[in-house]
Amino acid sequence: LGNAGFTLPTVDVDTITIGYPNAMVLMEHLQRMGEGNACATRQPRTGLDTFLAGACVYDETFPLENDEQQSNDSSVEASVQVIYAIGWSPHESQPQPLQRGSATHKVGDMVSHTTATNQDEKR
């Protein structure tokens, strides 16, 4: 963003967990979204035995937690990350960074103070 001329760049990430009935449905949704193997040396097609074995391993490895809505024990979960990148057009009203070395507090002191404050609140 900085190279594109934006100022005050900010990046935020949301991790979302989605439930699917099984790995086969998950893989179908990934394919329909255009997600796939982007390797230049990938094989043009995955064999049926490899596909089924991968689905079985996924079903066993990633069972859906908190499966209150569905009574089906074969549900699986997938996590996706949505990345937001925000930048602003330069303007004179934007805050400007202070000169390097002009800080009056150390970050380490603030972390230890925050940790101590949080521990006091828990008591």
pLDDT value for 37: 76
- Strand partners for 24: none
CA distance 111 to 106: 9
Does the pLDDT value for residue 82 go beyond 90? yes
Q: Is 98 helix (H, G, I), strand (E, B) or coil?
A: coil
User: Could you give the count of Cα atoms lying within 13 Å of 81 in the half-sphere of its Cβ?
Assistant: 6
Mean pLDDT for the chain overall = 83
Enter the pTM of the model.
Answer: 0.57
Q: pLDDT tens across 19-78, in order? A: 999 999 999 998 898 887 778 888 888 889 998 999 999 999 999 876 555 555 559 999
- Residues 59 and 22: beta-carbon distance below 8 Å: yes
